[in-house]
Amino acid sequence: MRDVPGAARPGGKKESDITESTPRTVRELGEFALIARMNAGRSPGPGVLLGPGDDAAVIAAPADRYVVSTDMLIQGRHFRLDWSGPRDIGAKAIAQNAADVVAMGAVPSAFVVALGCPGDTPVRFVDGLVEGMWAEARRAGASIAGGDVVSSPLLVLSVTAFGDPGRPPVLRSGASESDIVAVAGRLGHSAAGLELLTADADRERFADLVAAHRIPRPPYEAVRDLPDTTAVTSMTDVSDGLLADLAHLADASGVAIDVDAAAVADPALRPAADALGADPLTWALTGGEDHAFAATFRAGTPLPPGWRGIGRVRSGTGVFVDGDRWPGPLGWESFTGGE
């Protein structure tokens, strides 16, 4: 509310004031009461100069510029209601957008959320979505500045994330020959979790992998805490799969990337892979939605905390594993991939 005199903002009520005799569905509650409920008791962070309640929100841009990313999640496509609870879905929607902003070297400042849902959606389900979104927004150091709620035959969440560039934006196009390729965060855990859910096998035994699929945990702090002096030359988040995303980065930079399979292999994936008869290296190399960060650092740079070296930038084009082309798909692609 700072700086905007006379602003009206819902949210004066405490959650406890409005949960008595809660209507069962969003249709019974109605659009405007639902929006008031979603905002009740929530205080946008200091970067949000004007939160929900007007035609638009107002967000601070101390660096004279801001970073923006948008992603849409569709029921049955990006999540399944029998596999994920509302908190999981809300957190995932925020996490994957926050990761895009952080992958530019920026600090998340705010999110806006458009939600489409059927009229018979339980109000408690929306409560869970909002809980999950706020929890992940806070984890990313930001808050939710507003949004839109519409009626839709299936659940759709569209999130737009904003960030303040601390340093000049770290692009995909800055890698050059002999740079170190490094990763922060888990690889292949989400893919393993998805395969466990699909096979309906060993979900309890490998609960951590299933959880990794339900809610990605981007290691925001590994980017936030990069020393200013660290020569990071390019960066991306791993959303489609490590090889697919490194291929985009290599293409943008006009270089080739060679990945060291042994450095990517994760012993934590082995037991689940054995149980399913799957290849854990394929999960780590091509599995999407972990929202780890992949970056290149100038040769000789000591890798900062949270980062591990997994390969080298070479001259040429494309992405290699131990010097060879990877024989299968590099990762996920909408429409053609997995449909």
Find the part of the chain contacting a copy of itself (CB under 8 A) among 53-61, 80-88, 186-194, 220-228.
53-61
> Which one among 15, 17, 46, 54 touches a copy of itself, defined by CB under 8 A?
54
State how far the alpha carbon of 245 is from the alpha carbons of 89, 162, 180, 238, 293, in Å: 23, 21, 16, 6, 10
Is 71 annotated among the ligand-binding residues?
Answer: yes
Please pick, from the candidates 147, 188, 216, 280, the single residue that binds a copy of itself as defined by CB under 8 A: 147
Q: Determine if residue 136 is left, alpha or beta; phi over 0 gives left, psi from -120 to 50 gives alpha, anything else beta.
A: alpha
Q: How far is CA 18 from CA 27, 36, 132, 166, 273, in A?
A: 16, 10, 19, 40, 47
Site membership for a copy of itself, residue 61 (CB under 8 A): yes
Residue ranges in 94-123 that form contacts with a copy of itself under rule CB under 8 A: 99-101, 103-104, 106, 110, 112-116, 119
Structure tokens at 235: 């960066």
The smaller minimum CB distance to a copy of itself, of residues 158 and 190, is found at 158
Q: Which is nearer to a copy of itself, 239 or 278 (CB)?
A: 239
Q: Contacting a copy of itself (CB under 8 A), which of 12, 14, 24, 30?
A: 30
Q: What angle do CA 3, 169, 49 make, to 5 degrees?
A: 10
Q: Which is nearer to a copy of itself, 202 or 333 (CB)?
A: 333
148 marked as binding residue: yes
- Minimum CB distance to a copy of itself smaller for 104 or for 269: 104
Using CB under 8 A as the binding rule, whether residue 57 contacts a copy of itself is answered as yes
Residue with tokens 């905002």: 39
Min. distance of Cβ 158 from a copy of itself in angstroms?
4
Known binding residue 55? Answer is: yes
Q: Does 49 bind a copy of itself (CB under 8 A)?
A: yes
Alpha carbons 249 and 174: distance in angstroms, whole number: 9
Only segment of 62-70, 80-88, 185-193, 303-311 that touches a copy of itself (CB under 8 A) = 62-70
- CB nearer a copy of itself, residue 307 or residue 332: 332
Rounded CA Rg of the chain: 21
Q: Is 332 annotated as a binding residue?
A: yes
Q: How far apart are the first and last CA of the chain?
A: 45
The answer to whether the beta carbons of residues 40 and 10 sit under 8 Å apart is yes
Annotated ligand binding at 134? The verdict is no
Distances in Å between the Cα of 232 and the Cα atoms of 35, 102, 140, 223, 252 are 42, 13, 21, 10, 16
Residue 20 assigned ligand-binding role: no
d(CA 320, CA 243): 8
Shortest gap between Cβ of 117 and a copy of itself (angstroms)? Answer: 9
Subset of 199-258 contacting a copy of itself (CB under 8 A): 235-237, 252-253
The two three-digit tokens of residue 313, written as one number: 């930038």
CB 234 within 8 A of CB 247: no
Question: Would you give the binding string for a copy of itself spanning residues 173-202, x where CB under 8 A is met?
Answer: xx----------------------------
Among 40, 50, 246, 264, binds a copy of itself (CB under 8 A): 50
Q: Distance from CA of residue 297 to its chain's centroid?
A: 23
Q: Kindly state whether residue 274 participates in binding a copy of itself, applying the rule CB under 8 A.
A: no
* Residue 239 among known ligand-binding residues: yes
- Look up residue 130 and give its amino acid: V
Provide the token pair at 27: 């249709």
Q: Rule CB under 8 A: say whether 90 interacts with a copy of itself.
A: no
Which tokens sit at 320? 């290699």
Query: 144 phi and psi, to 5 degrees?
Result: -105, 125
Question: Known binding site for Mg(2+): residues?
Answer: 55, 69-71, 100, 148, 237, 240
Question: Known binding site for ATP: residues?
Answer: 147-148, 172, 239
